[in-house]
Amino acid sequence: MRKIAFLMLNGFLFFCLGNFSLAADENLKSNESELNFFTGMFDFSDHKQKAGTFGVQHQNDDLFRNSFLGKLSPVTGGFLTENSAFYLYSGIQAEYDLGLVKITPSFAPGYYNSGNGKDLGYPLEFKSEIQMTFDVSDSTHFGMSYNHISNASLGTKNPGANSYMFNFIKQF
């Protein structure tokens, strides 16, 4: 059953990520690449395992697909905690522009290594995130985000981790 779920997830991601079109609309921003630098608290809800974290995420605005779910685009990133745990991921995000505020939910499977930090039970973990950003200028945004990382019970244990971050986003 887990293999079937994994294959279905891969098929969905291939469909979403494989059908991106090049942005040809002149009304779109000329900034094509976005870097999101974030810092915060990894697993803040587990007082024994919480740790500071720093990470970077890349999103290319030249690759997107408008769908009934919103403006979808691929994201790739990673973070490192103060306990040498790290997570490398690649996934998809939707963007909802509400004027000065943007709401960006995302989903990204990735590789997690516990280092000296919390053992999440399996190397394959899934990150679900919601981010809210405020426009400072056309190419600079500040925001905050919350995410949950879980292995969807693929491992023998699945403690999960809840994290919050403060984001600085710069478009180039």
Q: Give domain status of residue 120, yes or no.
A: yes
- Counting Cα atoms < 13 Å in the Cβ hemisphere of 71 gives 16
Q: What string of H, E and C letters represents the secondary structure of the chain?
A: CHHHHHHHHHHHHHHHHHCCEECCCCCCCCCCEEEEEEEEEECCCCCCCCEEEEEEEEEECCEEEEECCEEEEEEEEEEEECCCCEEEEEEEEEEEECCCEEEEEEEEEEEEECCCCCCCCCCEEEEEEEEEEEECCCCEEEEEEEEEEECCCCCCCCCCEEEEEEEEEEEC
Q: Give domain status of residue 25, yes or no.
A: no
pLDDT at 13: 44
**What's the structural domain count of the chain?**
1
Q: Give domain status of residue 62, yes or no.
A: yes
Q: Give domain status of residue 161, yes or no.
A: yes
Global confidence as pTM: 0.79
Tokens of 21: 């079109």
pLDDT at 31: 60
Q: Give domain status of residue 128, yes or no.
A: yes
Q: Give domain status of residue 75, yes or no.
A: yes
Domain span at 46: 2-20+32-171
pLDDT at 28: 46
* Residue that has been written with the tokens 């180039």 in this structure: 172
CATH code of the domain containing 57: 2.40.160.20
Per-residue pLDDT of the chain (172 residues; tens, 9 = 90+): 444 444 444 444 444 444 443 343 444 445 678 999 999 999 999 988 999 999 999 998 777 778 887 889 999 999 999 999 999 999 999 999 998 899 999 999 999 999 999 999 999 999 999 999 999 998 999 999 999 999 999 999 999 999 999 999 999 8
Q: Give domain status of residue 27, yes or no.
A: no
pLDDT at 30: 53
Q: Give domain status of residue 163, yes or no.
A: yes
